């Protein structure tokens, strides 16, 4: 062997090994989709024709106590049928054991058939007729159904049928130990869905719901459209006991819709029904959104189908919105599956409130840097946490003496008033409270303004409300040591609250006027040198000393303390000074008109 031949042979070997490894990797382990050993002694789970020569017989057992037998003479074609949901499976094979005790004659036929459309059309998988030799020994056969027709893969409307036409009592065949196997198809990754509420049912439970009855998160291939699981209900079920409920706070959303995938499992009659309902009053009443029953379902609903339903306007911006499934199913073969459920809507955008006052806070920032915080106070952009704009203030349990404090000097202000918006996000329990308090001594002591507890809110009262509180204490006026705080005590399972659009307003204190008193004529400044007055120190009683060029504030001069005579003198003096000013102004104007200014 030359060098080229060796290299070529080596490449061929490597190529063969790669192909073999690839085939082994690609070929998944077969799973049993359906099996029948007939050990029940009857045709439980099968559908049989009106005239019947198919039997479950001890003489037909390859293993165990019973097997499937058929013998003539039949009244034409006689059959037994088994519908099998093959969703999520591919590369289907049917394996069974059979025995033909005698050779069949012309016109005799025993056929194994399959359907891909729920039984509308049946196609041949294998036929035993006059060309098949009879021998009283058991043989095993594997029928590659996918090789015959790839439409059997991932098919919820797949089924098997045994059909016989035999003309003599001696014509007979036995079957036993049926196994329909296939590979589980690769799981479709769960989509990245967003919305007000999303459930892909991949968790394996219904912890996010309130479930009663037979509702379950199911991981079998036929129960999931994608991911690791789906939602399933099978009969028997009653609408009064088999419910699945989810309350959803729709605050801040409008134009709500429900999107999901569904498929029918088994056959639903007119009396069977699964309803999807909604509430806008916290569950007090429920309205129908969609109904699935025997009348509403059509051919093809056994395959996964996507569905969208629109909620009415009453669901918009509603904190008391909820969703519910109910089921009425009379047989164990009746059922539906759902997957990839989303409640979505448009976020309601409200411009930030135009706040003004001594201090305002709209909580639009992603932090609380302007406040002193202890505990779990935080800002949130969630629609239910904000009354306007892009953010609001939230608090949730567990919280013990969690405070949010702001010191605000009210110097120069009086008649203070607090305004804010609040909403309850989850009910308070005993001992839960959120208090609004203020201080007038720099935080040494705190006085209550308002307290939210389980008695403050009515049942289901979770809408936004505004609160305006005047500060009753005059000590808050004109106070540089004023402050305000929120304080919360909430249990681990207790309630949640949100606040927004906070403002502290007040009246500006009027300024204290400054008074410039004039020179007061006390009777001694009249240049009287005739001795009539005896000098300025004598005269009609004691007078205030003259004040010239001095600016007096309210603390040194108060016109209200003057006597009537002094007030008259004050008015006279003011008039004299005003006249002098007017004379000076007149002289200036004359000088300007003459072209010279002195």
Closest to 509 measured CA to CA, from 439, 440, 407, 411: 411
- 102 is written with which tokens? 């005698």
Q: Is-contact 346 253, C-beta < 8 A?
A: yes
Class of domain 359-508: mainly beta
| Both structure tokens of 90 | 């591919």
Handedness of CA 583, 589, 590, 592 (dihedral sign): positive
Domain residue spans in the chain?
30-184, 197-347, 359-508, 515-523+546-598
Write the class of the CATH domain 30-184.
mainly beta
Region for 336 from its dihedrals, namely left if φ exceeds 0, alpha if ψ lies in -120 to 50, beta otherwise: beta
Question: pLDDT digits over 13-25, tens only?
Answer: 434 333 344 433 3
pLDDT, position 566: 75
- d(CA 118, CA 300) in angstroms, rounded, equals 9
**Per-residue pLDDT, 38:** 95
The answer to whether the CB of 450 falls within 8 A of the CB of 499 is: no
User: And the tokens for 340?
Assistant: 């990839």
CB of 447 closer than 8 Å to CB of 473: yes
Q: Which CATH number fits domain 197-347: 2.60.120.260, 3.40.50.720, 3.60.140.10, 3.60.15.10?
A: 2.60.120.260
Going residue by residue through the chain (598 aa), what tens digit of pLDDT does each one get?
444 444 344 443 434 333 344 433 344 578 999 999 999 999 988 998 766 789 999 999 999 999 999 998 887 889 999 999 898 899 999 999 999 888 888 888 999 999 998 888 999 999 988 888 777 789 999 999 999 999 999 998 899 999 999 888 888 899 999 999 999 888 778 777 778 999 999 998 999 999 999 999 998 888 899 898 999 999 999 988 999 999 999 988 999 999 999 998 877 887 889 999 999 999 999 999 999 987 766 655 788 999 999 999 999 999 899 999 999 998 888 889 999 999 999 988 777 667 668 899 999 887 898 899 998 899 988 888 889 888 999 998 899 999 999 999 999 898 899 999 999 888 888 889 999 999 999 999 999 999 999 888 877 678 899 999 886 688 999 999 999 999 999 987 666 899 999 999 988 888 766 656 655 555 554 444 444 434 443 344 334 444 444 443 444 556 666 777 777 777 888 888 888 888 888 778 777 776 544 4
């Amino acid at each position: 062997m030359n060098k080229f031949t060796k290299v070529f042979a080596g490449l061929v070997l490597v190529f063969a090994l790669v192909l073999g490894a690839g085939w082994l990797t690609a070929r998944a382990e077969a799973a049993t989709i359906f099996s029948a050993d007939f050990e029940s002694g009857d045709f439980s789970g099968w559908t049989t024709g009106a005239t019947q020569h198919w039997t479950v017989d001890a003489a037909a057992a390859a293993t165990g106590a019973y097997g499937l037998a058929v013998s003539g003479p039949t009244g034409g074609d006689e059959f037994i049928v088994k519908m099998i949901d093959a969703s999520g499976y591919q590369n289907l094979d049917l394996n069974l054991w059979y025995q033909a005790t005698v050779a069949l004659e012309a016109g005799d036929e025993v056929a194994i058939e399959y359907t891909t459309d729920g039984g509308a059309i049946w196609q041949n998988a294998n036929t035993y007729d006059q060309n098949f030799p009879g021998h009283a020994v058991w043989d095993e056969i594997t029928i590659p159904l996918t090789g015959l027709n790839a439409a059997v893969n991932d098919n919820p409307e797949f089924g098997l049928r045994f059909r016989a036409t035999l003309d003599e009592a001696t014509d007979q065949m036995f079957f036993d130990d049926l196994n329909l196997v296939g590979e589980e198809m690769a799981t479709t990754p769960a989509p990245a869905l967003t919305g007000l509420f999303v459930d892909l049912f991949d968790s394996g439970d219904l912890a996010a719901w309130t479930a009663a009855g037979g509702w379950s998160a199911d991981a079998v291939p036929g129960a999931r459209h994608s991911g690791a699981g789906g939602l399933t209900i099978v009969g028997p079920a009653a609408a009064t006991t088999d419910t699945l409920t989810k309350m959803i706070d729709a605050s801040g959303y409008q134009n709500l819709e429900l999107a999901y995938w569904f498929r029918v499992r088994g056959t639903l009659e007119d009396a069977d029904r699964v309803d999807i309902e909604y509430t806008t009053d916290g569950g007090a009443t429920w309205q129908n959104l969609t109904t699935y029953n025997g009348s509403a379902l059509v051919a093809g609903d056994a395959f996964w189908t996507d569905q969208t339903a629109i909620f009415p306007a009453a669901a918009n911006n509603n904190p008391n919105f909820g969703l519910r499934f109910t089921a009425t199913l009379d047989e164990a073969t009746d059922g539906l599956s759902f997957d990839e459920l989303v409640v979505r809507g448009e976020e309601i955008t409200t411009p930030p409130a135009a706040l003004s006052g001594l201090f305002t806070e709209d909580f639009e920032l992603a932090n609380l840097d302007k406040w002193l915080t202890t505990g779990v106070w935080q800002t949130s952009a969630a629609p239910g946490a904000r009354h306007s704009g892009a953010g609001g203030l939230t608090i949730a349990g567990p919280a013990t003496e969690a405070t949010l404090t702001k010191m605000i000097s009210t110097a120069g202000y009086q008649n203070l008033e607090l305004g804010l918006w609040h909403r309850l996000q989850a009910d308070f329990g005993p001992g839960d409270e959120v208090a609004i308090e203020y201080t007038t001594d720099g935080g040494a002591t705190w006085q209550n303004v308002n307290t939210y507890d389980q008695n403050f809110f009515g049942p289901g009262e979770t809408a936004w409300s505004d609160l305006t509180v005047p500060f009753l204490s005059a000590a808050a006026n004109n106070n540089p040591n004023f402050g305000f705080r929120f304080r919360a005590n909430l249990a681990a399972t207790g309630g949640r609250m949100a606040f927004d659009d906070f403002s502290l307003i007040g009246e500006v204190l009027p300024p204290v006027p400054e008074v410039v008193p004039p020179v007061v004529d006390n009777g001694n400044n009249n240049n009287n040198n005739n001795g009539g007055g005896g000098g300025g120190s004598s005269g009609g009683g004691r007078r205030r000393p003259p004040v010239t060029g001095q600016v007096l504030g309210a603390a040194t001069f108060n016109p209200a303390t003057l006597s009537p005579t002094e007030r008259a003198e004050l008015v006279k003096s003011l008039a004299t000074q005003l006249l002098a000013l007017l004379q000076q102004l007149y002289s200036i104007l004359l000088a300007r008109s003459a072209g010279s200014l002195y």
